[in-house]
Amino acid sequence: MKKDKPHILVVSQYFYPEQFRINDMAAEWVKRGYEVTVLTGIPNYPRGKFYKGYSWRKRRRETWNGIDIRRIPLFARGRTSFGMVLNYISFVISGWFWKAFTKLRADMVFTFEVSPMTQALVGCWYAKKHKIPHYLYVQDLWPQNVKTVSGIKTPLIIKPIDKMVKYIYDRSDKILAASPGFLKSIKMRAKCDEKVMYWPQYAEDFYKPAENASVPEIPQNGTFKIAFTGNIGFAQGLDVLPKVAKKLKDEDIQFVIVGDGRYKEGLLRQAEGVLDKFIMIDRQPPERIPEILSCCDVAFISFMDTEIFGMTIPAKLQSYMACGMPIVAAAYGETVRIIDEAGCGLCCDIGDIDALAENILKLKNSDLSQMKKNARAYFEANFDKKKLMDEMDLLFEEAR
């Protein structure tokens, strides 16, 4: 007799208390009656060191929101490229040994693939060993992402990565892409169009417009405030902000930067001379982000000037829209398409300081009420959590 709902093994190198959308997806599956086990690493993202209370010996097994979390050893990513590579490789090695010796028996595997894609090898190996379906959710497109972020283009490295990606695609029963821009590349490597589909990210239920919020870190001093929340890394292209701040130094605007990451110190160095234009807030629980956004006027999105990021829908876009935030973006591709379709903001080319400054002033001098409504309405029509998770239920049912 079949169980009413299957046992899902989630493979994700990052999981609670690290802040990724897979946390909410796994908790939602538990609410829907699934048994959920998560295979993950020791939390260290984005600061590059183990979170307090976690180590190779401490809290290797815990339960959160009904989810059985199993943590395998890895090296913290640190702040260097070598540390990051060691972090990626150590998860895969630990995952191979875990797969070989674990007594866990799941009914299906769901791999949540943000970089590195190497983590998906563990999902493939476990699924093959137990002859169960493997679902792959692609957030970062490899090998393109490796070329972009690392700058590595030598065939000696890229060709083996490309072969690895094809290996993973071949051993995935269903491949979900977080952006329609990924579909062509995935289908070309997967060589099976039927198993590839677009499934966008949603935003957690707590992302919604907040009313009458007060955030002590953000003074209500009448300045026009532009929020950025999330990882402060090199890929986010935030080097544009100090330049814009200097251009608008005589305007009553401020950038509210919430988060942490490898580029944070560099951002502060570049902002010397206009630090009064920046309000820096350390990484916050995601549940607090709607209140922070409500104390700002618009939200900001940018990324590096590369083809791969034009194909990507950044996760913060759904979060901003869910909170009814007008958006100013230095971007192109999927991000611009969505903002234009929604009518919820203004976009300019990446690196165009003059155009970005002009758009900020346009928004500052505009009535933003309609953009706020448009953002929320587009979110509800396209990124609704219940509708998307219902679709996922149907996919799981097909595999049984």
Instruction: Indicate the number of domains in the chain.
Output: 2
Same domain (yes/no): 232, 378: yes
Q: How many CA atoms lie within 13 A of 208 on its CB side?
A: 7
What average pLDDT does range 289-299 have in this prediction?
96
With respect to residue 2, please indicate whether it lies within any of the assigned structural domains: no
Q: Is 110 helix (H, G, I), strand (E, B) or coil?
A: strand
Query: Which stretch of DSSP H or E encloses residue 177?
Result: strand 174-177
Least confident residue range of 15-24, 173-182, 204-213, 337-346: 204-213
Same domain (yes/no): 98, 165: yes
With respect to residue 284, please indicate whether it lies within any of the assigned structural domains: yes
State residue 310's pLDDT score.
Answer: 80
**What span, in angstroms and rounded, lies between the C-alpha atoms of 6 and 29?**
10
- What's the residue count for the chain? 400
Each residue's pLDDT tens digit, 59-86: 999 999 999 999 999 999 988 888 989 9
Among all chains, which residue has been given the structure tokens 């190996």?
125
With respect to residue 210, please indicate whether it lies within any of the assigned structural domains: no
With respect to residue 207, please indicate whether it lies within any of the assigned structural domains: no
Same domain (yes/no): 358, 391: no
Same domain (yes/no): 313, 377: yes
Give the number of other Cβ atoms within 10 Å of residue 72's Cβ: 23
Same domain (yes/no): 185, 306: no
With respect to residue 344, please indicate whether it lies within any of the assigned structural domains: yes
With respect to residue 216, please indicate whether it lies within any of the assigned structural domains: no
Same domain (yes/no): 254, 300: yes
State residue 102's pLDDT score.
Answer: 96
| pTM of the entire predicted model | 0.86
Residue 348 belongs to a domain with what CATH number?
3.40.50.2000
Same domain (yes/no): 232, 268: yes
Closest by Cα among 109, 112, 89 to 99: 109
With respect to residue 125, please indicate whether it lies within any of the assigned structural domains: yes
Same domain (yes/no): 267, 375: yes
CB-based contact 59:53 (threshold 8 Å): yes
Same domain (yes/no): 365, 393: no
Domain limits for position 266: 224-382
With respect to residue 33, please indicate whether it lies within any of the assigned structural domains: yes
CB-based contact 240:302 (threshold 8 Å): yes
Each residue's pLDDT tens digit, 84-102: 899 999 999 999 999 999 9
Same domain (yes/no): 190, 50: yes
Q: What percent of the chain has pLDDT over 90?
A: 75
Q: Does position 189 have pLDDT exceeding 90, yes or no?
A: no
Strands 67-71 and 61-64 turn out to be antiparallel
Q: Does position 2 have pLDDT exceeding 60, yes or no?
A: no
Same domain (yes/no): 34, 66: yes
State residue 46's pLDDT score.
Answer: 82
Q: Calculate the alpha carbon distances from 67 to 9, 31, 124 in Å.
A: 10, 10, 21
Give the model's confidence band at 395: pLDDT under 50 very low, under 70 low, under 90 confident, else very high.
very high
Same domain (yes/no): 64, 122: yes
Q: Which amino acid, one-letter code, is at 101? A: F
End-to-end CA separation in angstroms for the chain: 12
Query: Which stretch of DSSP H or E encloses residue 322?
Result: helix 315-322
